Each structure stands twice: as structure tokens, then as C-alpha cells.
Amino acid sequence: MMFHEMNKENVEKALKTNVQTGLSTDEVEKRRRQVGDNVLDEGEKESALVLFISQFKDFMTIVLLAATLISGFLGEYIDAIAIIAIVLINGFLGFFQERRAEKSLQALKELSAPQVVVRRDGQWMKIPSKEVTVGDVVKFESGDRIGADVRIIEANNLEIEESALTGESIPSPKSSDPLTQEHPSLGDLNNMAFMGTMVTRGNGIGIVTGIGMKTAMGEIADMIQNAETLTTPLQRRLEQLGKILIVVALLLTLLVVLVGVWHGHDIYTMFLAGVSLAVAAIPEGLPAIVTIALSLGVQRMIRKNAIVRKLPAVETLGCASVICSDKTGTMTQNKMTVTHLWSGGHTWQVSGTGYQPEGSFYKEDTEINPIKEKSVYQLLTFGLLCNHAELKLKDKEYVVDGDPTEGALLVSALKAGLTREVLLKQFAIEQEFPFDSTRKMMSMVIKDQHGKRFVITKGAPDVLLNISKSVLWNNREQLLTQEYQRNVQQAIESLASQALRTIAIAFKPLKDYDVIADENAAEKDLILIGIQGMIDPPRPEVRQAIKECKEAGIKTVMITGDHLITAKAIAKQLGILQHHKKVIDGQTLNQMSVDELEDVIDDISVFARVSPDHKLKIVKAFQNRGHIVAMTGDGINDAPAIKTSDIGISMGITGTDVAKEASSLILLDDNFATIKSAIKEGRNIYENIRKFVRYLLASNVGEILVMLFAMLLSLPLPVIPIQILWVNLVTDGLPAMALGLDQPEENVMKRKPRHPKEGVFARRLGWKVVSRGFLIGIVTLVAFMTIYYQNTDNLAYAQTVAFATLVLAQLIHVFDCRSEHSVLARNPFGNMYLVMAVLSSILLMLVVIYVPLFQPIFHTLPIQPKDWLLIICLSMIPTFLLAGTFYLRKKA
């Protein structure tokens, strides 16, 4: 028999498991050893060797190696070996850089890997989907992605979208009954749920029947392997730029060679010098350093609780000009406590803090017994019944497992001494219509001990008011006349204006013959009992984060399903509603087209009582106004808006799998302040990339120009090929990487967002590269000429001095690159990585100059102390000359 044909008991028997308790930890370990991880095989990975060899496939490197071999055959053994050694070391560096980049990307992927709720040793727990095994009891609900193949044992209005497997995009309804149909197709198996498919409605429990490659998805895994690695716009732009730079570097090098030969230099020497120069000047390491800077930045973001799912988001973050954020849980703490009850014109206060189930009930400062007041008793009882939350004691603190709103209702009932266990002895739950944020309510059909059935509905009070026919007033049912409606409306507004989140509770008795086919049948003609009002305090850090965003030219917009007045009260507390900014609600939004919204959207700061589909409209309207929009969301219905926004953000704790998959950034702590940190980091990463692009290119310009000028002046080579290669290796490697780790400049969150189309050389970067490079070239040439003309017989000594000047000028210039302004704008020791990198580069330079072993290899001679003065002064000129002009310009 197949699993879909068996009844529940037989499935349990066949898989040796129990739905009530799940598997035991020991059993899980045993099974996992047997069947392995629940993962799909990944495609072939590039082997380390291939990656290493690929470091040398660059055209100029091949030419250099060939030229070196020729020089080796001609007897220049030492030169040849040294050059090959340097090329190899360079290759290793590139290899490790790329490896590291790849590893950290892989680690990222694992961090955002899907999770599954399983029951083990009787407890429900969330585990990485990789650890699920055959026989595990799993639970899933709307918005979840199914983690393995599952035989459904319990289904509540369960619908699953299986287009990944069947191509059918309309979700299929699921049930738990055994199937009798012979040879059903995959699409007919409506008591099975398959790995990779998506729950779009309801919830369910099931037993895992297959994992990993032994699932329906596993069978077609080859087809769905998409090893898509996204590159960021900047990476692509740099790639294009790299191609242009290669051509420019080659042309300039050719010019150097031609001029050199024309002025009587030996062709072979000029050829090798040209090739070395080309290898040094072509910034082949740039893409790897960019990836590393991006992934290191991404790791820094993880430490600040933001996981980047799609690398391009790192860059887009720096361009964000609007953040549309959910209120509940993101701006507020999502720790709800009922403080007020309202029913039939009376208000009660509830004392106590947080989820601590201790507190009393008061009416006008007098303590009352809530069980004795009928409407209070009903409000609390029904709030507890129509509820899935559980209260747990964790590290001496009460926490809610489930929806915090329901947690608050659970706690208010507990304060009155009511428990669900006792209630469930009197009432049985027959049907359930789960909460969704479009309907803004949920309902249950309940049967009491006497067999009487009734509907309980809880949800947004204004919504419930619309579908109620009467209201309990002084324990009597009264028809909802306009006057009663006004009274209830006033009560809602009065609670909301105290920043309270409100939940109304209503019910209706059913006749024996009443059939409740769907939620529409349940949710009409209700009797409104009353309202529970709960506080959800703002997160303390959010106000400051919103202020910082404002200074950074980023507008914060609150989007919430809550009541307009509640939203407004909280927005005021958080500093969102300032300077005549407006608040509008879902109803008004419904009547507006995207174009109409676009005209006024810049003035709106709060959208209240919205449904998820409004979010899409909001994103589009902002985008049409030219904004780069970050949009948060957690539910399955938020996915389209998250996807459409420029930076889709999902919640790590409360987010559904679907929302997470649609997003490019996940907030591990669901906190708004984390978005601000991520934006700051995003801006910083971009600036750091600019810093090392500037450093590397200016250095390269300097290297080419010193050679070109020397050739034009008919001088000997100021630096020889092996020295150029060394400069390329040492100064380009560590210091450039260290720049990628630089801290942000103080004003990083004080400027406007960057324009997304901004080019690599924008904001005078091109000018900085050329001018600094030019100066580095000139001072190196001056150092060379000064020493050379003192004693033209000692060319090698002049070359050593030029070499030292070139290295030092670059190493001083690297500090200049830390600021958009000048070297003096920042503490030069602020980036210790950079200081260490520069010191070790200087040390390596001294080794090459002073250690006798290296002198014949690098053709160096020990530099005398008096000449160091010249070298140091000259190499400081580019940086300080420009700092001086910057200072003068600023003063003027």
C-alpha cells in the first residue's frame, strides 16, 4: 500500500512514529545516520585546482610567463624564477580571495535556509529543514514552504500551491482522508504535501514520508538547479570598466615600449618591462576585492542582525530614499498587554505588565471580579477560545508561543483565572477560519456541553462592527441602530487614541441545521460583545533610527493593518508624523488610482488599516516618483510588494518562508533600527569600494606615468620589471583589502542617498585618480633623476630609490583614499587593519632593499640614510599638496 492509500494509523505504523509525540531524539539520530540530510544534491562545484589554474588564464599573465620563460632560456635565471614566483604568489592570493568570497556567499545561503516546525519528544520546535527525517511529525501554515514530502494527517482549510511540481498555479485544496483512486497523478494526491511547494491557506499537520533526493522534487532536482549568482550593478560596471582599463593600460604600455625603443633602449628589455607594466597596471584583482568587500560587509551586517539574501541589495541599500515599514513588531515591540476592556458603554482597566499572567480588573478604580460581570467574562472566555497562542516560562520570563495579539488575549483571560484546558472540557472546536490580514479577523465554530453550536469571531473592531447586526448593551442584545453604532465607534476611537491596538469579539448562536460552509457564512449577522485594547510599546531605539534616516535624506513611512487613530498615536510617539504629513487609510487608498496616489504620496507618512495588496500600490506610487523604496513584510500576501520594491525586507522571526524568499534582506530581530544599520553599512560598503578603486587606479596611473615620462625624457628605466611586479603584489594586495574594511566616515548618514545610476567615477573620483596618479609618477621620477644625475654610473641605486619612492608614495596615498575630503579629515590610525597592512608592506620593502639574499633578485642596493629623507619628503608631496589645496579651497 502507498502512503496516500493508508489511514492515519497505518501511516504511523508504517513509518514507526506517533503524531502525538513525534519521534524521539535518539530515533531521529538513528534515522538521520541511515538516510542522511534532507537536501537536494547540488551541481558539480568548481574544484580548487580549476579555480587555482583559472587565476593564470588572464592574457597578459600568460604573455608575461612566456616572456619570462624566454628570458630564462636566454640565461636570466634569477629574473625568470623571481618573476614566476611573484606570479605564483599573486595567483595564490587571487585563489584565496576568490575562495573566501565563495565560502562567505555559501555561508550566507545557509543562514537564510528554510526552517521546519517538527514535533520531537512531544515538543514542537523549529529546526533547519536539512535536519528533518522520515517519520518526523511536521506542522505547516499559510506562508510556509513544505520542507519534505509529507502525508497530511490533519488539514484546516489547507491549500497548497504546487506549480513548482505540476505547473498548476491555482492552489489545490488538501485533506487528510485516504485516497482510493488507482494510479493517481501527482496533482491528484490531495492528502500529500510535497517538498518545495507553498502553503497558501489554512494549516495542517503531517508525517514526513520522503526527504532529500527521495522526494517528488528530488526526482526533478536536476531541472531546478539554478546556480544563479547575482552580480551587483557596481560589479557589472567595474567589469566593463576593467575591459576599458585593459585597453588603456595596454595602449599606454605600448606607448612606453615604443618610445623606449625609439630612444635606443634594447627591444627585449623594453618588451619585458612593457609586459610587467601591463600586468601591474591591469587591475585584474579588482573583481575579487569587490566581492570580498561586499561579502565582508555582508558579514558585518549579519552581526547587526541583517541577512542579505541577494548581493545587489547591498548596493541598492545605499540608494534607498523611502523606507515603508510595518508597524507591529518592527517599530513596536510586539509584546502586547491588554490594558482596557470595553463592552456596552462600560470600560474596565486591567493591571499587570508584559505577558506576566498576574493582574487585576478595575472599574473606575474599584477592583472587580471579572468572572461575575457577564460581558467581561464572555469577552475574556471567547478571546481565549478563539486563540492558538501558548504561554511559556523561558529563563524566568513569560514568552508567547504564537501570535502576540492572541498572547495578550490569553494573558488577560489568565488574569481572571480562566484557562484553555478547563474551557476545552466545556467547549469543542468544530471548525476554524484562520486569521488573515485582508479580512482582519478569524472565526471558530464551537459546540458546548449541551450540543449548542455558535460562532465566535474576533478581529478589527471597525470590521466586526460592519458585519454585526446587534450589540450587547448592559448584558442585553440591542439592534445596532445608528446611535449604537456611533457609541461603539466612539469607544473604538477613544481606545485607539491612547495608542491601543484593539480587538473586538463577537458571536452568534447557530441553529442545528445551520451549515457553515465558509468564512462568509460564519462572519455575518454577529452580536458584538466588546473590545479588548492592548498596548504595544514602541521599540525604544526606533525613534532615534527614524531621526537618523531623516538626516540621511530617507523618508520613513509607517504601514499598518491597525486602526488609523492607533497608528497616528504611535507615529507621533516615534516622530514619523511631522510638518503636516498626512495619514490615510485603506478605504481612501481603494478609491485612488496609482496616479492619484502618486500626486500626494510625498506628503503621506502613515498608511493605516491597509491590506497587503495596498502595499503594492504604495510601492509603485513611490517608485513612479523616482524613489528607491525599501518595503518590509512578513505574510504570504506581502510577497508581491516585497518583490516589486527595490529592497524587499522580510522578518526573520515572524516572516513566512514565502516573504523571506521574495525579499533581498531579512531582519533577524524584526527591528526597524536594523534597517537603518543595514543602510548605513550599505552606504559604507559602497564608499569602501570607491576607496580602493581610487587607490588601485591612482597607483597604477602612477606606475605607468613614471615609466612613460622617463622614456619621453630619454632616461633609463626608472624601475625594472621585477620591481614593478613586486609593487603590484605588495601595495595592491593588503592595503587595498584593508580599505575595504574601513569604518564609515562620520557624515555617511548625513548626506542624501546616492543616485542609483551614479557612475564609478562620479563625485570627482576620476579627477582624484588621475591627479594623484600623476603626482605619484612625477615624484618617483624626480627621486630617480635626482639620484641618477648625482652618479650616472650607479643606475641600480637610482632605481632602488625610485622603487622605494613609488612604494612609499602609494602607501601614504592609501590614507588619503579613506576620505572624500583630505587625509587630514580623519585620524590616520582609525583603521588599524590599514596601519598594519601599510607597516607590513613597508617591512617587506625594507627586506627587499636590505637583505642581501634578495638584492640580486630585485636588483636593489641598500639605500643610505640621507637619501631616505629625499624619498620620504617626495612621497609625502602628493598627499599633502592636495590636502593643502583642499584646506585653502575650504577656507576661501
Instruction: Determine contact, residues 153/176, Cβ cutoff 8 Å.
Output: yes
**Candidates 60-68, 484-492, 506-514, 559-567; binding stretch for ligand ATP (CB under 6 A):** 559-567
In terms of CB distance, is 296 or 558 closer to ligand ATP? 558
Site string for ligand ATP, 491-520 (x = CB under 6 A): ----------xxx-----------------
Check residue 536 for interaction with ligand ATP (CB under 6 A). Answer: no
| Amino acid letter, residue 386 | C
Closest separation in Å from C-beta 427 to ligand ATP: 18
The helix (run of H) or strand (run of E) holding residue 354 is: none
By CB under 6 A, what part of segment 375-394 binds ligand ATP? none
In terms of CB distance, is 618 or 787 closer to ligand ATP? 618
**Residue the block writes with cell 499598518:** 560
Closest separation in Å from C-beta 510 to ligand ATP: 20
Closest separation in Å from C-beta 412 to ligand ATP: 14
Q: Which long-range contacts (CB under 8 A, 24 or more apart) does 759-765 make?
A: 759/237, 760/234, 760/237, 760/238, 760/241, 760/690, 760/693, 763/820, 765/690, 765/693, 765/694
- Secondary structure (3-state) at 42: coil
In terms of CB distance, is 347 or 611 closer to ligand ATP? 611
CA distance 586 to 288: 47
Comparing C-alpha atoms, which of 228, 210, 208, 279 is closest to residue 62?
A: 279
By CB under 6 A, what part of segment 431-460 binds ligand ATP? 435, 437, 440-442, 458-460
Check residue 636 for interaction with ligand ATP (CB under 6 A). Answer: no
In terms of CB distance, is 659 or 693 closer to ligand ATP? 659
Closest separation in Å from C-beta 603 to ligand ATP: 21
**Candidates 95-103, 327-335, 465-473, 846-854; binding stretch for ligand ATP (CB under 6 A):** 327-335
Among 98, 144, 161, 403, binds ligand ATP (CB under 6 A): 403
| Sign of the dihedral defined by the CA atoms of residues 211, 217, 221, 226, in that order | negative
CA distance 477 to 497: 27
Check residue 561 for interaction with ligand ATP (CB under 6 A). Answer: yes
Nearest residue to ligand ATP, by Cβ distance, number only: 561
Comparing C-alpha atoms, which of 493, 491, 528, 534 is closest to residue 507?
A: 528
CA trace torsion 610, 611, 615, 616 (10° rounding): -140
Among 17, 197, 235, 328, binds ligand ATP (CB under 6 A): 328
CA distance 808 to 789: 22
Comparing C-alpha atoms, which of 224, 303, 348, 150 is closest to residue 668?
A: 303
Closest separation in Å from C-beta 389 to ligand ATP: 8
In terms of CB distance, is 235 or 328 closer to ligand ATP? 328
Check residue 562 for interaction with ligand ATP (CB under 6 A). Answer: yes
**Candidates 17-25, 196-204, 553-561, 645-653; binding stretch for ligand ATP (CB under 6 A):** 553-561
Beta strands, E only, 449-523 = 453-459, 468-473, 476-479, 501-509
CA distance 8 to 177: 8
The helix (run of H) or strand (run of E) holding residue 665 is: strand 665-667
Instruction: Determine contact, residues 130/188, Cβ cutoff 8 Å.
Output: no
CA distance 764 to 751: 16
Which of 79, 326, 585, 816 is the catalytic position?
A: 326
Comparing C-alpha atoms, which of 187, 198, 191, 208 is closest to residue 142?
A: 198
**Residue the block writes with cell 469579539:** 505
Closest separation in Å from C-beta 400 to ligand ATP: 12
Kindly report the backbone phi and psi dihedral angles of residue 285, in degrees, each rounded to the nearest multiple of 5, phi listed first: -80, -10
Check residue 523 for interaction with ligand ATP (CB under 6 A). Answer: no
Check residue 405 for interaction with ligand ATP (CB under 6 A). Answer: yes
Closest separation in Å from C-beta 817 to ligand ATP: 43
Site string for ligand ATP, 274-313 (x = CB under 6 A): ----------------------------------------
**Candidates 140-148, 322-330, 343-351, 706-714; binding stretch for ligand ATP (CB under 6 A):** 322-330
In terms of CB distance, is 284 or 403 closer to ligand ATP? 403
In terms of CB distance, is 79 or 634 closer to ligand ATP? 634
Closest separation in Å from C-beta 569 to ligand ATP: 13
Number of shown-chain residues binding ligand ATP (CB under 6 A): 22
In terms of CB distance, is 414 or 729 closer to ligand ATP? 414
Q: Is 562 a catalytic residue?
A: no
By CB under 6 A, what part of segment 19-78 binds ligand ATP? none
**Candidates 303-311, 321-329, 656-664, 706-714; binding stretch for ligand ATP (CB under 6 A):** 321-329
In terms of CB distance, is 83 or 639 closer to ligand ATP? 639
- Residue 213 is placed in which grid cell? 533526493
Closest separation in Å from C-beta 652 to ligand ATP: 15
CA distance 144 to 150: 13
Closest separation in Å from C-beta 609 to ligand ATP: 8
**Residue the block writes with cell 485603506:** 586
User: Between the CA of residue 709 and those of 261, 265, 305, 468, 810, what are the distances in Å?
Assistant: 14, 14, 52, 88, 18
Among 431, 560, 656, 819, binds ligand ATP (CB under 6 A): 560
29: how many CB neighbours lie within 10 A of its CB?
12
Kindly report the backbone phi and psi dihedral angles of residue 656, in degrees, each rounded to the nearest multiple of 5, phi listed first: -85, 160
Check residue 406 for interaction with ligand ATP (CB under 6 A). Answer: yes
Question: Where does this chain bind ligand ATP (CB under 6 A)?
Answer: 326-329, 403, 405-406, 435, 437, 440-442, 458-460, 501-503, 559-562
Residues known to be catalytic: 326
